[in-house]
Amino acid sequence: PSQQEFVDPNELRTTFSLAMSAMYKKEVPLYGDLIKIVQSVNEEALRNSADPKITAMRNGNLASERLDLERHGAIRLGTPHELQTVRRIFAIIGLYPVGYYDLSPAGLPMHATCFRPTTTAALSRNPFRVFTTLLRPDLLKDAQSKDLALDLLSQRSIFSPELVRLLDAAERQNHRLRPDEASAFVRESMKTFGWRPIAAASKDVYQKLKDEHPILADVACFQSAHINHLTPRTLDIAAAQERMRIEGLRVKERIEGPPPRKCPVLLRQTSFLALEESTHFPSDRGLEEGCHKARFGEIEERGAAVTDRGRALYDELLNETMRQISACPRYLDASQKDKILVDTFARFPDNWDDLRRQGLVYFDYSLGASAKEATIPLNPSVDDLISRGVLVAVPITYEDFLPMSAAGIFQSNLGNDTTAKNDTITSFSDHFGFQQNLGCAVTDLDTAYAMAQDASLRKCALELGMVED
């Protein structure tokens, strides 16, 4: 068959994410409320905000912002085989593993990658991505619960035979599917990521795993890799968080990530807390009623991607903030903790020129309006060209995640008892082991931004006739 007979992966990603969103709204109706809140906060921000990025949006091409499409979801997997199969599923909708995230420093026996579109063109077609964590049995100290969990995981099969058949077919067709195959693929994938109301373990086993670590119960005791949240993009995360509170949602205490800034960097996130959902556990006497807490809704606001140096500074200031918070002998409420964050981050420059000159943020360069008329000195610096209006620098958006923020989101949604046993997890990263389990390398997180910046500069140099093709 010719290329035309296959569905474009970017298009299929949209179909897939819309199906996921519809399913999740049905499964977790509160998520539908969250979407409405975010939409109304975004509309207000678009109408009233003086933030140059938002006014540009108001005057520019709003449709290209795709504000109404979720930015990400998250799943938690139990075995290398599940991770490899999920990788095959996501390749069909144009998502590839980028970045390695070690969550063990936060007491979680998990590590992760993000499956996402890797080009600007694909991101702008549909920005949907999936934060995907994998259980690390090597970090579980209690042999009995580890065996119980591995046993449950070895018995479950979260991919339907039809889905597996479609994955094989796609691989014979360069990861593409025909329209009829594509609809079957979306339908069958939803079975993998949907909620199954009957647990795979008895209540006793569930409780035992939960006592060992709540994440263990969530990963091992169910028949699917249920999506645990979806995350729309908000233009004003503080306003959206406040609105969630007003509407009576139970929200996470603090927003994760950097403090509010004039020049936003990286990623800020918060969530409504996971719900108690009724669940049925198999037993000798038939089904036993119980409940499980795993699924929530999250919102995110994205800023600029930072360079290695910017990231080192971010990590240093975040560690310093956490050190001060934990060293404080008094009880600190959320606003006191936020104050420490703001004060500590005063050391992170907050205007685009400084951020650019100090090499803290990645920029996309293009020719300015006066590029063609301006006189260009010999061997000009980028600064030179910017001050002459030859070049315009726009910060590149951060498309990835932050391990400590992810851990904060995890923990608020596992319940307050999570931290109790945190000290039973030894922390070390296993980037190599993760890639082995995945069956391929994850793309380095930093390189992509550096390459995008370099490529934009090179394009400008070509257009100005400063270099030859």
Binding site for ligand OOG (CB under 6 A): 74, 76, 131, 133, 228, 269, 298, 401, 405-406, 409-410
CB of 200 to ligand OOG, least distance (A): 18
Compute the distance between CA of residue 400 and CA of residue 148 in angstroms, rounded to an integer: 34
Q: What does 414 interact with, of ligand OOG, Ni ion, none (CB < 5 to 8 A by kind)?
A: none
User: Which parts of 111-228 fold into alpha helices (H)?
Assistant: 120-125, 143-155, 161-172, 179-193, 203-212, 214-220
**Which residue's CB is nearer to ligand OOG, number 126 or number 269?**
269
What residues contact residue 251 under an 8 Å CB cut-off, 6+ apart?
Answer: 241, 244, 245, 270, 271, 272, 273
CB of 406 to Ni ion, least distance (A): 7
**Which residue's CB is nearer to ligand OOG, number 228 or number 453?**
228
Q: What does 410 interact with, of ligand OOG, Ni ion, none (CB < 5 to 8 A by kind)?
A: ligand OOG
**Which residue's CB is nearer to Ni ion, number 101 or number 348?**
101
Q: What does 241 interact with, of ligand OOG, Ni ion, none (CB < 5 to 8 A by kind)?
A: none
Residue 204: burial class (beta carbons within 10 Å; 0-12, 13-18, 19+): exposed
Compute the distance between CA of residue 86 and CA of residue 426 in angstroms, rounded to an integer: 27
Compute the distance between CA of residue 402 and CA of residue 390 in angstroms, rounded to an integer: 35
Residue 291: burial class (beta carbons within 10 Å; 0-12, 13-18, 19+): exposed
**Which residue's CB is nearer to Ni ion, number 107 or number 232?**
232
By beta carbon distance, the residue nearest Ni ion is: 298
CB of 310 to Ni ion, least distance (A): 22
Judged by CB under 5 A, the stretch of 156-164, 298-306, 339-347, 428-436 that binds Ni ion is 298-306
Structure tokens at 337: 């903790």
Q: What does 321 interact with, of ligand OOG, Ni ion, none (CB < 5 to 8 A by kind)?
A: none
Judged by CB under 5 A, the stretch of 52-60, 91-99, 231-239, 437-445 that binds Ni ion is 231-239
Candidates 401, 446, 402; CA nearest to 308 is 446
Compute the distance between CA of residue 135 and CA of residue 119 in angstroms, rounded to an integer: 29
Would you say 270 and 299 are in contact if contact means Cβ atoms under 8 Å apart? yes
Candidates 381, 37, 62, 422; CA nearest to 215 is 422
Single residue of 298, 301, 399, 400 touching Ni ion by CB under 5 A: 298
**Which residue's CB is nearer to ligand OOG, number 365 or number 401?**
401
**Which residue's CB is nearer to Ni ion, number 257 or number 349?**
257
By beta carbon distance, the residue nearest ligand OOG is: 406
- State which of positions 72-111 bind Ni ion (CB under 5 A): 74
SS3 track for 354-416: HHHHCCCECEEEEECCCCCCCCCCCCCCHHHHHHCCCEEEEECECCCCCHHHHHHHHHHHHCH
CB of 254 to ligand OOG, least distance (A): 14
**Which residue's CB is nearer to ligand OOG, number 298 or number 364?**
298
**Which residue's CB is nearer to ligand OOG, number 76 or number 302?**
76
Q: What does 228 interact with, of ligand OOG, Ni ion, none (CB < 5 to 8 A by kind)?
A: ligand OOG
CB of 320 to ligand OOG, least distance (A): 21
Judged by CB under 5 A, the stretch of 214-222, 227-235, 284-292, 329-337 that binds Ni ion is 227-235
H/E segment holding residue 325: helix 308-327
Structure tokens at 260: 């509010």
**Which residue's CB is nearer to Ni ion, number 235 or number 390?**
235
Q: Taking the chain, what is the end-to-end CA distance rounded to the nearest angstrom?
A: 36
CB of 113 to Ni ion, least distance (A): 13
Q: What does 208 interact with, of Ni ion, ligand OOG, none (CB < 5 to 8 A by kind)?
A: none
Q: What does 400 interact with, of Ni ion, ligand OOG, none (CB < 5 to 8 A by kind)?
A: none
DSSP string, 55-84: HHHHHS-GGGG-TTS--EEEEEE-SHHHHH
The phi and psi torsions of 113 (rounded to 5 degrees) equal -140, 175
- Footprint of Ni ion on this chain (CB under 5 A)? 74, 231, 298
